[in-house]
Amino acid sequence: MPGPQKLNAAERVQALEERLQLRLARPELGHAALTHKSYVNEHRDEGLPDNERLEFLGDAVIDLAVSHRLMERYPSANEGELTKRRALIVNEEGLARVARTLRLGELLLLGRGEQRTGGSDRASLLADAMEAVIAAVYLGGGLPEVLKLVDLHFADAFVDLAEGRHGLDYKTLLQEEIHARLKLSPRYLLVSESGPEHAKQFEVEVTIGSNLYARAVGRNKKEAEQAAARATLAMLRAAAEAASGEQPAGEAAPALSEGGPATPVKGLGGVGPEE
C-alpha cells in the first residue's frame, strides 16, 4: 500500500479499518470522517463533504458509549460521579491520545496550510476527527460497533480511571515523595531535541542525588518531564515492593540515596509520553 499521503479513497478507508480493527459498513462515511474542511475548501471541484457534521454526531455518540460502559463498571456510582468519570475519559486530550495511537493524523486529508502548521498532530483537530470516525462507525453499525471501538481503543483510559491515574501531575508526586524521604529535589535535564518544527521529539532524563533513574520522550519538554517522572515513580514503587520481600532472586532494586554509584537507567529508549 502506498504511503498515507498517496492513498486513494478506498485505500485510505481500508487503512482506517485496519487500525480500528473494525469493518465500516458505510466506507464513504469513513472517508468523510478523514476529510477536513481545509481540504474541501481547496478542492471544491471534487465535491467532497467535510467531517464537521460527523464530528457533531460523534461528540454525542462517544458520550453515550462511554456512559454505557461506566454504568456497567460502577453500578453504585451516582450521576455526579459518573459525569466526572466520563469527563476524565471523553475530553480533547483523551480523544487526541486515542487518535495518535491509531496514527489517525497521517490518514487525514488536510489543506496545505493545515499541513504546513502541523495540523495532523494538533490535539483539537485530532479530537474532532476521532469524533467523526466514531460517528461513521455508529451510522454504519449502531451502538454495538461503537462499544467495540471503545473496548478496543479506550481500554487504557478506563484502566487509568480505575487506578486513579487521570490528571495526575507526576512531577509533583515525585517531588513530594523524594523530598519526604531525602530532602532532595529531582533534577530534569533535556538530553536531546529532534524532528521537524511541527513534530519535534524531546528527550529528558531525571536524576535524584547522583543517581540517573529514567529517560523519556515527549512532544514537548513538559510532556517528556512528566513521562520521566512517571517512569521514576514506577521504578521506586517496584523497588519498595522488592525490598518488602517480593524481589525476584538475582535482581537489584534501584537504590534511593544521595550518593554512591549511579542507578542503571530503566526503560532507556522505551519510555514514551504518558498514554
Provide the phi-psi class of 269: left if phi over 0, else alpha when psi is between -120 and 50, else beta.
left
Which of 11, 52, 59, 156 is labelled catalytic?
A: 59
d(CA 109, CA 12) in angstroms, rounded, equals: 10
Positive or negative, the CA dihedral 105, 16, 32, 55 is: negative
Three-state secondary-structure class, residue 55 = helix
Long-range contacts: 145-148, Cβ < 8 Å, 24+? 145/22, 145/25, 146/61, 146/62, 146/64, 146/65, 147/65, 147/68, 147/69, 148/22
How many residues in total does the chain contain?
275
Q: Can you point out the beta strands (E) in 135-200?
A: 187-194
Contact yes or no for 114/35 (Cβ under 8 A): no
Question: Three cell numbers at 273?
Answer: 509520553
Number of Cβ within 10 Å of residue 141's Cβ equals 18
Is residue 274 annotated as a catalytic residue, yes or no? Answer: no
d(CA 53, CA 44) in angstroms, rounded, equals: 17
Is residue 45 annotated as a catalytic residue, yes or no? Answer: no
Question: Three cell numbers at 169?
Answer: 501531575
Long-range contacts: 249-256, Cβ < 8 Å, 24+? 254/211, 254/213, 255/211, 256/178, 256/181, 256/182, 256/208, 256/211
Which of 50, 128, 131, 177 is labelled catalytic?
A: 131
DSSP state of 8: -
C-alpha neighbours within 13 Å on the C-beta side of residue 69? 25
Q: Which residues are catalytic?
A: 59, 131
